[in-house]
Amino acid sequence: MKKILLINPKAGFARFRFNEPLVLGVLAALTPDTYEIEFVDENFEPFTYRDCDLVALTSSTSSINRAYSIARQYNENGIPSIIGGIHVSYLPEEATQYTTSVVVGDAEGVWKTILNDFENNTLKKTYKNLDNNNRFIVAPDRSMFKKYPYGTASIETSRGCPYACDYCSIHSLYKHRRFERPVEDIVNDLKTIDKKVVFFTDDNFLGNFQDKDRIKTILKALSKFNKKWAAFCTIEIIKHPDLLELFKETGCVILYIGIETDKIDTLISIKKSVNKRVFDNYSLEDCLKIIHSYSIAVMGFLIFGFDSDQSIEEMHSRLKKTNESGIDWIVIFLLTPIPGSPIFHTLRDENRIIENNYPEDWAKYDFTRAVFKPKNVEPADLNEFFVTTNDYYFNKKQTRRRFFRTLKETKSVKHTFYLYIWVINNWSNVRKYWFMRVFNVLVKIFMR
């Protein structure tokens, strides 16, 4: 029996242990029983070379060098390697220098062909699945994920995003469209989940709110399984109290919201129209109060380094304002021109990208370092800003403050717990704080 090795390479210092890497579960589900499958997630264990007949990897930009390194080891031993993911979908010519074959787009439509070509020793350099016709989303083989203690079970109900934010590469790959998975298939997938928390991995779980009835059907089906859930969402959810009420009733614990900035001129320049529509009439504090009234915590994502950011002092002021708005947790990113995003092409054409020794420099594209020259600040100063703010906003005092604030605002111990399960899986320093250790012990005793 031939063996396929599925690998999720680690990206830099970060460890993503909260949700399962769905694409590798999908490959397992599409693979005939005539193959043996082994799965390795470097977020839990470092990869060591092991025998196999075929290697398949998925990778983001920040983990691409690690993926290339692993693939090279197998290619040097005559073992073919396949790589997919959004990075190589935009840069297949680069990837083919380090791997046997590259999947451009989704794996579902080409995996069977890849295995047939592998059996016949006729693997092609590139397999493309970008045709908008007959797109489908396959349920993963969830038995594979039992190997590691993921915080949630991942599930996908759609793919793509209807918006066109300058810093994002998703919409270009999917041609500004969002492809929806049949509700019946989603419900059948939910039946296979044995974890207490479900994470909807959709790029935008609600799309542009044009099909609210579909979302309601999915959530009402989910409620029958007595699960808690979390998802990516836009701030525009505050305009839909009917959905927020349903979120509360069906067990929503966290909404991950791309706030980016509350500066209207920046939102216009980066084409974040959905946020502009909200912040024209509501403050961030108002938005959070609305969401908290439904006992839902908010994980907010902020970006710094826009051309409209006038100074480091202004960025500090913006971050302080956000922290005092009542937000439950902040994720601080530096603007990063990911391949395929409009901002990448703009900065490249303006010769402002300073970390451009590819592929080596892709490791620096992890949203924590300045890889281009902003208009109004120096890259070194932006880097110092990131280090300083992370040291301060995620220290013991600030973490404790937000922890108790979430308890107060959501009025839910459970929801606070689930939020901090995500946090401690991604911030190792928070995991060490004494009050987090005490809280986790109490939860294990009283919330089994």
325 shares its domain with 384: yes
Judged by DSSP in three states, 341 sits in coil
pLDDT confidence of residue 134 = 44
Do 120 and 181 lie in a common domain? no
* Domains in the chain, number: 2
CB within 8 Å of 227: residues ≥ 6 apart: 190, 193, 195, 196, 197, 198, 251
In this predicted structure, what is the pLDDT of residue 151? 82
pLDDT, one tens digit per residue, over 312-351 is 999 999 999 999 999 999 999 999 999 999 999 999 999 9
Q: Where are the alpha helices (DSSP H) in 179-263?
A: 183-190, 212-223, 241-250
Question: Do 88 and 32 lie in a common domain?
Answer: yes
Helices 312-323, 379-393: axis angle to 10 degrees equals: 20
Pairing relationship of beta strands 35-41 and 158-160 according to DSSP bridges? unpaired
* Residue at 420 is within a domain: no
Query: For residues 117 and 123, is the Cβ–Cβ distance under 8 A?
Result: yes
Q: For the chain, how long is the longest CA-to-CA vector?
A: 62
> Within this chain, do residues 340 and 285 fall inside the same structural domain, yes or no?
yes
Tokens read off for 428: 């190792």
- pLDDT computed for residue 61 by the predictor: 94
- Give the separation between CA 173 and CA 180, rounded to whole angstroms: 16
Residues of the chain with pLDDT under 70: 12-15, 130-135, 443-448
Asked if the structure places residue 310 within a domain, the reply is: yes
**431 domain residue, yes or no:** no
Q: Name residue 320's amino acid.
A: K
In one letter, which amino acid is 288?
L
* 164 and 306 belong to one structural domain: yes
Are 112 and 61 in a shared domain?
Answer: yes
Tell me the residue range of the domain where 265 lies: 152-393
Whether 156 and 251 map to the same domain: the answer is: yes
The C-alpha atoms of residue 343 and residue 171 are separated, in whole angstroms, by: 13
Domain boundary among 393, 418, 438: 393
Predicted confidence at residue 356, as pLDDT, reads: 96
Structure tokens at 7: 């690998």
Residue 321 lies inside a defined structural domain of this protein: yes
- Quote the DSSP letter at residue 176: T
- Structural domain includes residue 438: no
| Residue 343 belongs to a domain | yes
Classify residue 398: in a domain, yes or no.
no
Residue 50 in domain: yes
Residue 197 CB coordination number (10 Å): 21
Residues 98 and 189 in one domain: no
Indicate if 183 and 229 belong to the same structural domain: yes
Say if residue 168 is in the same domain as residue 249: yes
Does one domain contain both 165 and 307?
yes
CATH code, domain carrying 384: 3.20.20.70
* Whether residue 178 is found in the same domain as residue 88: no
